[in-house]
Structure 1
Amino acid sequence: MKMRDTFIKPMHPEGRKFVAIFAAITAVLFLLSSILGWIGVGLTVWCYYFFRDPVRATPNREGLIVSPADGVVSLIEKAVPPAELGMSDEALTRVSVFMSVFNCHVNRAPIGGTLKAIAYRPGKFFNASLDKASADNERNSLCIEMEDGRQIAVVQIAGLVARRIVCFSSTNDRLLTGERFGLIRFGSRLDVYLPDGVQPLVTLGQTMISGETVLADLTSNEPARAARTH
């Protein structure tokens, strides 16, 4: 990897118009004050960085469930998948990954399969790190069915400052593990509902890398993972 690749990342097309708007405002700010102009430059660079879309190395082994988002594991608990997906009404293990405004916000499929359902539901904009965000906030839910018939739900949840959930995929699309399927603008959260009996291999507070960090393993009998902080 070249040194420049550490700092310069590809930008998702969704961000081009926002960077252009920030740049235009920055040009106006320079006419008013050089100090304001340089603040605008900083915000424009941040906007570009927010919409970065780096290449990720997704593990190929069958049965691995990877993180759909960059961020930190904020919740691991039992919960019923969103009713609008028409899945089982039994509580499943839900792993929530909270994305701050500094994380990459491109979302990736946690596992390969057929996209059986997509359901958008408007809602509120509580802080996405709160438990009630799963029930009350604006969300876009997806149901991915694997070849063996088991299903995984992944839910895009808008946050305190997020006001736009974007989904690039459509019902009946075939997704590969780690394939991009959407993004959320400016701070949010992704929930993954694991199949019954599957334990998470991540812990609260763990830093996740979208498309790379293994969240769970369908073939493993390992109990829910514990960790220590230091």
Structure 2
Amino acid sequence: MAKEGVPWTVGFFAAALLFMMLSRRLSLEPLRYLGWICGLVALLVAYFFRDPRRKPPEGEGLVVSAADGRVAEIERGVREEIYLQSKAVRVGLILSLWDVHINRAPVSGLVELLKYVPGGFWPAFTRRARRENEHNLLGIQGSEGKVLVKQVAGLLARRIVCRVRMGDAVTRGQKFGLIRLGSRVEVFLPETVELKVKRGDRLLAGETILGVFR
């Protein structure tokens, strides 16, 4: 489980036990129902913050997915001025409430850009979310080229976590953060990268090959 989920899970389990104990001591049936509800919420929180083991593929020039989710958009010829400063390929992923929400580095390299941008909280699947929502930018200089990851908050996902710092060395598939509840992640790649995914594909962070540098 991601460490961000531990306090919530423990808290709801503790509340469940407390309500159950009070229900028995005071003979109040509604407290028992509250205990069951808190226990159920604790299980849901633990499921949401689950952290399954992932094995990144081996090979030269590989770019893996930064997030679990469905490929909602692929846009070529995008002018990316913040980090790549060139035309790029943008791959937009939508994460449902039930996807694993831990984000992973697409390539090995050095963190050269970290930028938090405040904004709104439109639903993750809308165009306004991509343009206007709160987001965090992570730029990685890999051996083959630069990659930019954009963590985007959504209507429910109002907490972006990024655990790396400027100058950190990351490895392909390494966990670097998460977005709580349903959200959106975008990856900007140089046009020299040959994509290996298409719209509608479901990807696994750190395992699914997004593309290959050519």
Distance 1:136 1:14 in 2: 26
TM-score normalised by the chain length of structure 2:
0.89
Q: Which residue of 2 aligns with 1:227?
A: none
TM-score normalised by the chain length of structure 1:
0.83
From the superposition, tell whether residues 212 and 86 of structure 1 become closer, same or farther in structure 2 (CA, over 3 Å): closer
Q: Which residue of 2 aligns with 1:185?
A: 180
1:9-158 to structure 2, matched below 5 A, reads 11-27=1-17, 30=20, 31=23, 32-78=30-76, 79-81=78-80, 83=81, 85-88=82-85, 90-148=86-144, 150-158=145-153
Letter in 1 for 2:79: V
Larger-Rg structure: 2
SS, match of residue 177 in structure 1: coil
From the superposition, tell whether residues 80 and 19 of structure 1 become closer, same or farther in structure 2 (CA, over 3 Å): farther
Instruction: Map Cα deviations across residues 126-146 of structure 1 (whole Å, 9 max, x no partner).
Output: 111223212111000011111
SS, match of residue 194 in structure 1: strand
CA RMSD of aligned residues (A): 1.7
Could you list the runs of 5+ residues in structure 1 that have no partner in the other structure? 1-10, 220-230
The alpha-carbon deviation at position 28 of structure 1 amounts to: 5.4
From the superposition, tell whether residues 93 and 27 of structure 1 become closer, same or farther in structure 2 (CA, over 3 Å): same
Residue pair 1:93, 1:199 contacting (<8 A) in 2 also: no
The alpha-carbon deviation at position 147 of structure 1 amounts to: 2.1
Letter in 1 for 2:139: C
Give the stretch that moved more between structures: 16-25 or 110-119.
16-25
Give the stretch that moved more between structures: 30-39 or 205-214.
30-39
SS, match of residue 80 in structure 1: strand
